[in-house]
Amino acid sequence: MKIIFLKVFIAIIAVVTAHKAFRISAISRQQLSTGFAADSGYILQNNLHSLIKISVDDTLHIIDSETNEPDTLGKYYKMITGNYISCVRISGIYGYPAHIIYETLPDGTVLKKEQFYSVMNLCCWDNVYNGFEKHGDYVSYRACSNGTAFCSTDIYLFKELTSMDEQETISRTLWTATGKEGYYIDITSKMEIKNDTVNVFYTKKLTKEKKTEYRIKKTSFYNAIFTKSNSKWAPADSTSLRRFMINY
């Protein structure tokens, strides 16, 4: 379930960048690609070109101003098909964080690539790589939305790489002010995947700020079941889920 202004933001990005998709800056030294060997690992400045065969027209910006791992660009996983999927952080338009997700053959030959964005900053990532995760046959990408006293997480969950526009997200977390002074909503979740059904178990806490801590005033729970409709994730009861997320 996408946050509305995330859709609007992405639409603006698509218009602005349509004529120069994937032309991103430069790592200075091209290396001969030898491909992947492990089932998962980290993508660094010094191994990027040895893992992925990136063309001279598809070079890379390095963003390290907001992280303690300036040499880490992302992470990769081996998929059930035997191909590899890699998420590499790039410099997004207007300075907003962005990534390119590559699907490659084991030798590093690029089969597909798509840009993924968040709004404002990566408030739902702990570092430059942990928002890209593997869940059995699936991988997920965290899309963050944030503003004043607000941060949410929606994930793109897929087996095969497609664009953001071709997918629907699954809401995972939300932290926001309620509009009543000192009161906040904190929603977290756990996710279970069985075959092609996703169960998300939400916990919502209404908290009140008291000096240096948040005291829990009320706790509620909700279980949402997501299945694919026209190749896109959809909750069984979108109205109830929306009501749970916004009411307090």
Q: What is the DSSP string of 37-73?
A: -SSEEEEETTTHHHHS---TTSB-----TT-S-TTEE
CB–CB of 184/178 below 8 Å?
Answer: yes
Q: Does 139 map to a domain?
A: no
Measuring CA to CA, which residue among 140, 235, 221 is closest to residue 188? 221
Q: Does 39 map to a domain?
A: yes
pLDDT value of residue 27: 45
Q: Does 89 map to a domain?
A: yes
> Which structure tokens are listed for 37?
């060997």
The lowest-confidence range among 35-49, 81-95, 143-157 is 81-95
Q: Does 133 map to a domain?
A: no
Q: Does 25 map to a domain?
A: yes
Give the C-alpha separation, 128 to 126, whole Å: 7
Q: Does 9 map to a domain?
A: yes
pLDDT value of residue 248: 61
> Which structure tokens are listed for 148?
């004043």
CB–CB of 224/237 below 8 Å?
Answer: yes
Q: pLDDT tens-digit profile of 154-175? A: 999 999 999 999 999 999 999 9
Q: pLDDT tens-digit profile of 226-236? A: 999 877 999 99
E strand segments, the chain: 40-44, 72-78, 84-91, 97-104, 110-117, 132-135, 138-147, 150-158, 170-177, 183-194, 197-210, 213-229, 232-235
Q: Does 96 map to a domain?
A: yes
Mean pLDDT calculated for residue range 52-71: 62
pLDDT value of residue 96: 73
Model confidence band, residue 114 (pLDDT cutoffs 50, 70, 90) = very high
Measuring CA to CA, which residue among 169, 194, 171 is closest to residue 246? 171
Confidence check: pLDDT of 30 > 70? no
Question: How close are the terminal C-alpha atoms of the chain, in Å?
Answer: 19
pLDDT value of residue 64: 43
Q: pLDDT tens-digit profile of 117-154? A: 887 788 999 887 889 999 999 999 999 998 889 999 99
Q: Does 215 map to a domain?
A: no
pTM of the model: 0.82
Measuring CA to CA, which residue among 194, 200, 195 is closest to residue 225? 200
Mean pLDDT calculated for residue range 233-244: 93
Confidence check: pLDDT of 37 > 80? yes
Give the C-alpha separation, 151 to 186, whole Å: 10
Mean pLDDT calculated for residue range 186-199: 95
> Which structure tokens are listed for 5?
């202004």
Range of 7's domain?
1-125
pLDDT value of residue 202: 97
Measuring CA to CA, which residue among 91, 152, 87, 158 is closest to residue 124? 152
Domain count for the chain: 1
